[in-house]
A = this chain, B = another copy of it.
Amino acid sequence: MKNKKNENTESLILEAAKSIFQTKGMNGARMQEIANKASINKAMLHYYYRSKQLLFEAVFKNAFSLLAPQLNTILNDDSSIEEKVRNFCSNYISFIIKHPYLPNFIIQELNRNPNFILKMKDNIGFPNTEKFKKQVVLEIEKGIIKPIKGEQLFINIMALNVFPFVAKPLIQTLIDVEDEEFEQIVEERKTEVADFIINSIKK
């Protein structure tokens, strides 16, 4: 076997890189800062990941592979729209509270380099909205929910869940609350958002 430090160092680097990239972005992150965080020499970053770009891509893929399964719960689950919405809002907000920088990181870096997501699309497990859209059509036909395009409903669900995390500094200042109260408001949204959506679409 190899040096046992090997695996240790590699994941140590990834963890440090995750933390720096997710808070400062590709452009704001410094290789030296990542090395410091991992308590190793800067040359090691290149030894294990060759370049800043490749290290960044490793972090990004790692982040996206964490997010994708969350989205798939609402897209591929077999329960009713109402159940899915209630489940998703609660679980997804819990998930983001645990990974607060994640959605913003992904959104920001995809804006910086939009065709970067194409590399992800090939992976199995990449979220697909087809099943969800069909289900929306079906429940409308059955008279369970009011007419709405699947795409619009999906965007609304995402927006209501994710936006408070992405725009936290702006929103927090606009509604003039401190951290503690903001966290409480976000916590409330686990059910608040679900109710808001169901109220709107349920017949």
Residues of A within 8 A of B (CB): 24-25, 27-28, 71, 104, 106-108, 110-112, 114, 117-118, 121, 127-129, 146, 148-149, 151-152, 154-156, 158-160, 162-164, 166-171, 173-177, 185, 188-189, 192-193, 196-197, 199-201
- Tell me the complex Cα distance, A152–B163, Å: 12
Say whether A117 contacts B169, CB under 8 Å. yes
Say whether A170 contacts B117, CB under 8 Å. yes
A135 to chain B, nearest CB (A): 14
A35 to chain B, nearest CB (A): 19
- Tell me the complex Cα distance, A108–B197, Å: 27
A149 to chain B, nearest CB (A): 8
Sample of 7 A–B contacts (CB below 8 Å): A108-B111, A111-B166, A129-B174, A129-B176, A152-B192, A159-B159, A160-B160
Say whether B167 contacts A121, CB under 8 Å. no
Say whether A167 contacts B175, CB under 8 Å. no
Give the residue name and chain of the B residue nearest to A172 (CB).
Answer: B114
Say whether B174 contacts A154, CB under 8 Å. yes
Known contacts A25-B27, A107-B167, A148-B192; 16 further A-B pairs (Cβ under 8 A): A25-B25, A25-B112, A28-B112, A107-B169, A110-B167, A110-B169, A111-B166, A129-B175, A129-B176, A149-B185, A151-B175, A155-B185, A158-B167, A159-B163, A159-B164, A200-B200
- Known contacts A27-B25, A28-B112: A107-B155 contact under CB 8 Å: no
Say whether A166 contacts B27, CB under 8 Å. no
Say whether A156 contacts B152, CB under 8 Å. no
Say whether B192 contacts A106, CB under 8 Å. no
CB neighbours of A197 from chain B (8 A): 200
Give the residue name and chain of the B residue nearest to A130 (CB).
Answer: B176
Say whether B169 contacts A158, CB under 8 Å. no
Say whether B152 contacts A185, CB under 8 Å. yes
CB neighbours of A162 from chain B (8 A): 159, 163, 167
Say whether A155 contacts B173, CB under 8 Å. no
